[in-house]
Amino acid sequence: MNLNKTRDRAQLTDDVERLAAELNQARADVVTLRRLKDAEADEKRLTVELRVAQEQLAERNAADVIAQRDAMYANFIDINVEEEITQSGDNIMHNIYRINVTRREWNGWENAPKTIVFGSFTALPGEAFNYLLDKHPSRIPAKIMALNPSDAWDAFSIYFAGLKRGYFTGPSAE
């Protein structure tokens, strides 16, 4: 009889452990079931929330870029381009472009306007070049803009490549 009690106790212990494990699994399944029941609604809600968060991030990043550009251009007052036709004729390859950049510079007492003349676009500092293209694209010479009328950055890319190559191709080459 003692042997049966031991077996019964072992069987009961196994049953308790098995039932406890099954209960834990059932509880985990209930959690999963609840999560799955809410999954479709969560997907719709999260889609909207993600889109709103992405738009807010994009707006913030754009505002930061604009603020950085404004800070970079804060000392610029004006920029203009003078085109001089050389004896070689009115040709984009041979024309001389003088760029007058007026900006505030510290003279020891105050930030005073100072105009510096650059003899070509290749001599123009990057900050001033960006200021011209970003803030005053209408002042870009027509012959250069003709290289790509819809994109000033690309027009200058073509212009600089043509200068480096030594000739221009296409209808804007004259």
pLDDT tens for residues 39-50?
888 899 999 999
User: Does the pLDDT value for residue 136 go beyond 90?
Assistant: yes
Contact present, 116 and 101 (Cβ < 8 Å): yes
39: which 2 tokens?
Answer: 């999954």
Sheet arrangement for strand 111-118: 76-84, 96-106, 111-118
pLDDT winner (highest mean) among 86-100, 123-137, 157-171: 123-137
pTM of the prediction? 0.63
Confidence of residue 29 (pLDDT cuts 50, 70, 90): confident
**What is the rounded radius of gyration, in angstroms, for the C-alpha atoms of the chain?**
36
pLDDT tens for residues 94-118?
888 999 999 998 888 888 999 999 9
